[in-house]
A and B are shown apart, each in its own frame.
Chain A
Amino acid sequence: MSDNRLNVAVVCGSLRRGSYNAALARTLPALAPPGMALKSTPAWDKMPIYNHDIQDASGFPAEVTAWADAIRAADGVIIVSPEYNWSIPGGLKNAIDWVSRMKDVPFKEKPIAIQSCAGGVLGGSRMQYHLRQSLTSVDAFLFGRPEVLVTFSAKKFDEKTLALTDQPTIDIVKQQLAGFEKFIRRLNGRR
């Protein structure tokens, strides 16, 4: 049933045009189960660097409110992000820091799945465990396994089109999305 589809918001942690993580995020709609509709969240790149004084003087910036609303309205969120210096990219952390200050924290009890691509052998795992820790602080419901950790990402995407070409990666992403749908539906059924 089309009314029954879950609306899942996709957040990308990289702004770079040629980002492998953005390429993975673009692939997700084609790999999602039929019961899940995916939509990118509004851009977070115009949010000012978090400063409590801004919030006190002029309230939350419009970009922050728009991002928060998109997350609040979604049944779940998938965060696809690179690892910068072993951790969460500053821009993505800035967005999380902004919305975490809202009275009605949009991540609270929100189902979240995490994916990352990286050039090396660890696939962005250090970013993922930091992100899990931050999202624990905003009381999100974090999906467990399978984890999507795309290692050696230059070998997994087409050099020119940036299409995801690696079959094992495609399979694990599909598995995660199917598992995430079940996770969300189980939570929705219980509350």
Chain B
Amino acid sequence: MADKALNIISICGSLRKGSYNRIVMNALPALAPEGMQIKEAPPIAEFPLYNADIQNSTGFPAAVQTLADAIRSADGVIFNSPEYNFGIPAPLKNAIDWVSRVPNQPFAGKPIALQSASPGPLGGGRVQYDLRRSMVFLDALTLNKPEIFIGNCAQRLDDKTGRISDEQTVGLIKQQLAAFAKFIGAHGGKS
């Protein structure tokens, strides 16, 4: 509905306090188009390493259930993630693996947008294509374009002030968030 605000949650793939990806994530609420609210998802840092025995003996940890519920009630999810060893950071993959086992797994049909920052020139391209593939398995709907790869991020993100210092990056993020709002509208989002 046009008058209903889109409720988006963002998940940061890095647990590090001074994470560049967190700087980007923290900037999102101010860059969102009108009618889109972005909030940080409940934390993933305390999830145990995935083990089906835990699930079978004591059920899903409360933190997992909390994240699953937050994803389910969101209109879309944004991943802000670094690339670790050419792939998805273990904390994030662990969170996805946990949530994927929750009955009526919440990523199904959920609009997803991806953003990554890295100190290297590729800006995390490889983590994004791995995430896209995991999202296919979970039957999520991943936004195509514009893609956001913040390369050489130390020059674009100011870790002293916690702000995005590069105007081009700011402009691109705004474009992606606007495209994401349109994408959610096209796919129906949460119904």
Q: Which of B132, B137, B144 has the most CB of A within 10 A?
A: B144
Q: Are B186 and A132 in contact (CB under 8 A)?
A: no
Q: Are A190 and B144 in contact (CB under 8 A)?
A: no
- Asked if A97 is an interface residue, CB under 8 A from chain B, the answer is no
Q: How many inter-chain residue pairs (CB < 8 Å) link A and B?
A: 35
Q: Are B136 and A190 in contact (CB under 8 A)?
A: no
- Asked if A129 is an interface residue, CB under 8 A from chain B, the answer is yes
- B106 nearest CB across to chain A (Å): 14
Which residues of chain B are within 8 angstroms of A147 by Cβ–Cβ distance? 136
Q: Are B133 and A129 in contact (CB under 8 A)?
A: yes
In the bound assembly, the distance between CA atoms of A140 and B187 in angstroms comes to 13
For A, the interface residue count at a CB cutoff of 8 angstroms equals 17
Q: Mark B137-173, 1 if CB is under 8 A from A, else 0.
A: 1011100110000000000000000000000000000
- A34 nearest CB across to chain B (Å): 23
Q: Are A144 and B140 in contact (CB under 8 A)?
A: yes
Q: Are A145 and B136 in contact (CB under 8 A)?
A: yes
In the bound assembly, the distance between CA atoms of A129 and B185 in angstroms comes to 26
- Asked if A187 is an interface residue, CB under 8 A from chain B, the answer is yes
For B, the interface residue count at a CB cutoff of 8 angstroms equals 14
Which residues of chain A are within 8 angstroms of B140 by Cβ–Cβ distance? 144
**7 residue pairs bridging A and B, Cβ less than 8 Å apart:** A109-B186, A132-B133, A133-B132, A139-B145, A142-B136, A144-B140, A186-B187
Q: Is the interface of B mostly helix, strand, loop or mixed?
A: helix
- Asked if B86 is an interface residue, CB under 8 A from chain A, the answer is no
Q: Are B188 and A186 in contact (CB under 8 A)?
A: yes
In the bound assembly, the distance between CA atoms of A167 and B125 in angstroms comes to 40
Which residues of chain B are within 8 angstroms of A55 by Cβ–Cβ distance? none
Which residues of chain B are within 8 angstroms of A187 by Cβ–Cβ distance? 186-187
- A77 nearest CB across to chain B (Å): 15
Of A132, A136, A141, A190, the contact of B185 (CB 8 Å cutoff): A190
Which residues of chain B are within 8 angstroms of A190 by Cβ–Cβ distance? 185-188
In the bound assembly, the distance between CA atoms of A142 and B145 in angstroms comes to 13
In the bound assembly, the distance between CA atoms of A186 and B186 in angstroms comes to 8
Of B133, B137, B139, B144, the contact of A139 (CB 8 Å cutoff): B144
- Asked if A103 is an interface residue, CB under 8 A from chain B, the answer is no
- Asked if B84 is an interface residue, CB under 8 A from chain A, the answer is no
Which residues of chain A are within 8 angstroms of B137 by Cβ–Cβ distance? 145
